[in-house]
Structure formats: C-alpha cells, structure tokens
C-alpha cells in the first residue's frame, strides 16, 4: 500500500479532489485519517449478512477503491445478490475496476445523484454524503429510500459536527491527535484541513437523523461513533 505523503511538501491552492494522486494512496490515506474506518468495514460486512435479501441489489455509493463493496460482497455471499459500486472519480473507478476484476461485482463511473436504485436491500454511503451538495442530500436519500425493498437498510457513515462550539472544537482536536498518532505532521494536518474546507461539509447527528426521517425511513440509529466520525443505520 503506498503511503500518503500528498501534503508533506506542496501547498495545494485548489480544494481537495479525488484525482489520480489521491487514488494512488487512498487506502493508506483513509485508514490513517478516519478513526474506526476498519471497524466500519467489518460491520458493513456483518450488516450485509444480516440484511441482504436473496436476489436483491446491494449498492456501495461513492465506492472509491471498493473496500465497502467487497465487505458487501462477503456479507451477502450465497444470496445471489448483485453488488454494485458507484463513484464519479475516473481515477478511483479505473483502479477499483482493475483491483476487483476477478470479483463478482460491478463498478460504475457515475454521479451517485444519477444512479438508478431498485430492488435494493442494503445501500452503503460510507463517508460520501459529506461531499454531496447540501441541497441535494435529501433528494438522494429519498431516491435511496424509494429504491429499497421493505426491510432494506441504508448504512450512512459520516464525519460529523457538534452543535456546541466547544464540543465541536474538542472533537476536532481529538481527531487531529488521532492523525498525529497515525504519523501525519502538524503541517500535513493543517494543509489537508484547508484543502477540505468547502469540499467536505459535516452536519450534526441530529440533522442526519431528521433528514433520514424526512426521506421516509421508519427508524434510524447511530451504531458507531469515534470522535467526530459516526455511522448510522436507517431501516425502510
Ligand atoms: C470507502 N466509501 O472506502 N458521485 C459519485 N461519487 C462521489 C460523489 C458523487 N456525487 N461525491 C463524492 N464521491 C469509501 C470511501 S471517499 C471518503 C469514500 C473520503 C466519491 C469520491 O469520488 C470518493 O471516491 C468518495 O466518494 C469519498 O468506504 O475520502 O473521506
């Protein structure tokens, strides 16, 4: 796995994008940047095992290099499901298709706002909604809800914000301490923070649960949280 050193030397004037440079180090980058990422993937597999319906479609929206796509595939094995990963970064999709070419999964280069979701039993948005325009988030969740079969689930993992400003700051500091412990320097952390401004827009857990309800989901709860990263499950 190539080590992420993108923010060691250069100042990146433009905002963060999922280009070839990012795709080439992405597995290392996300593992060292998102506390609980590995556990989230393990639980996507377990949740897929629990909720995948025989003969249904399972979607990994914003699949990057397909880590959660493969967790879905393992979790649903033996249930004749179609596993579909979607991402709109050509650099990510190219690598993902190459890495998973022997696997029984379909990887598409497409904007998830345009993905046709049907006969779904498990949909994953693993740290992706945070990059979608805020005005489009409810529509996307509505379309996911409509494409799910009764009893189907959405697994939604996000970087989160806190209403209380002091709490928000404390959680950001803890996340940055996590990144330092993973070997990132203060300079890399600060440059990445600047690059993600206006690109990654976190919301509070309350806002997420309210939107899930508005989209139609009958229940939702937070099953995981580590500092300012959390994962929710919503049931149709
Ligand atoms: C994982 N889920 O390893 N349409 C399609 N793809 C998009 C869109 C969009 N509108 N917006 C963002 N993406 C993965 C990790 S990374 C999370 C997901 C992170 C894609 C984007 O191209 C990138 O590959 C991914 O969402 C976000 O479990 O980098 O923090």
* Nearest residue to 137 (alpha-carbon basis) of 197, 61, 40: 61
Residue 47 confidence (pLDDT)? 98
H-run or E-run covering 90: helix 90-99
Asked if 72 contacts 94 with a C-beta cutoff of 8 angstroms, the reply is: no
| Integer Cα distance of 183 and 179 in angstroms | 7
Residue entry with tokens 């494409």 = 147
Nearest CA to ligand 1 atom 24: 64
Q: Is 219 helix (H, G, I), strand (E, B) or coil?
A: strand
Residue 190 confidence (pLDDT)? 79
The verdict on residue 26 lying in a domain is: no
Q: How many domains does one find in the chain?
A: 1
CATH for 71? 3.40.50.150
Taking the CA of residue 122 as centre, how many other CA atoms within 13 Å lie in the half-sphere pointing to its CB?
33
Residue 196 confidence (pLDDT)? 73
Phi, psi of 88 (to 5 degrees): -100, 10
Shortest-distance atom of ligand 1 to CA 111 = 4
Residue 224 confidence (pLDDT)? 97
First-last CA distance in the chain: 38
Residue 11 confidence (pLDDT)? 59
- Residues contacting ligand 1 via CB (< 6 Å): 18, 30, 62-64, 67-68, 86-89, 92, 111-113, 126-128, 131-132
The verdict on residue 45 lying in a domain is: yes
The verdict on residue 67 lying in a domain is: yes
Residue 96 confidence (pLDDT)? 97
Residue 183 confidence (pLDDT)? 85
| Integer Cα distance of 143 and 80 in angstroms | 24
| Integer Cα distance of 26 and 2 in angstroms | 8
- Report residue 206 as tokens: 């309350």
H-run or E-run covering 136: helix 134-147
The verdict on residue 206 lying in a domain is: yes
pLDDT tens across the length of the chain (236 residues): 788 777 676 655 567 777 888 888 888 889 989 999 999 999 999 999 999 999 999 999 999 999 999 999 999 999 999 999 999 999 999 999 999 999 999 999 999 999 999 999 999 999 999 999 999 999 999 999 999 999 999 999 999 999 999 999 999 999 999 999 988 887 877 777 877 788 899 999 999 999 999 999 999 999 999 999 999 999 99
Segments forming the whole domain that contains residue 111: 37-122+135-152+200-235
The verdict on residue 157 lying in a domain is: no
| Integer Cα distance of 226 and 200 in angstroms | 18
Nearest CA to ligand 1 atom 3: 67
pTM for this one?
Answer: 0.96
| Integer Cα distance of 228 and 193 in angstroms | 14
């Amino acid at each position: 796995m190539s080590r992420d050193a993108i923010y060691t030397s250069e100042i990146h004037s433009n905002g963060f994008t999922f280009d070839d440079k990012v795709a080439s180090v992405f597995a290392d980058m996300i593992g060292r940047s998102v506390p609980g990422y590995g556990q989230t993937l393990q639980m996507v597999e377990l949740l897929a095992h629990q909720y995948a319906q025989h003969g249904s479609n399972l979607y990994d929206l914003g699949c990057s290099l397909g880590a959660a796509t493969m967790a879905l595939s393992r979790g649903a094995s033996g249930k004749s499901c179609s596993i579909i990963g979607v991402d709109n970064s050509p650099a990510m999709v190219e690598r993902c298709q190459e890495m998973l070419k022997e696997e029984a999964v379909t990887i598409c280069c497409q904007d998830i706002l345009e993905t046709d979701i049907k006969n779904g039993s498990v949909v994953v948005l693993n740290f992706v909604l945070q990059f979608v325009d805020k005005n489009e988030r409810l529509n996307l969740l509505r379309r996911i809800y409509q494409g799910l079969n009764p009893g189907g689930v959405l697994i939604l993992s996000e970087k989160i914000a806190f209403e209380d400003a002091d709490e928000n700051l404390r959680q950001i500091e803890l996340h940055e301490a996590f990144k330092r412990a993973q070997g990132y320097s203060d300079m890399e952390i600060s440059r990445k923070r600047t690059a993600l401004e206006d690109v990654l827009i976190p919301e509070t857990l309350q806002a997420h649960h309210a939107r899930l309800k508005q989209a139609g989901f009958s229940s939702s709860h937070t099953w995981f949280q580590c500092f300012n990263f959390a994962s929710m499950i919503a049931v149709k």
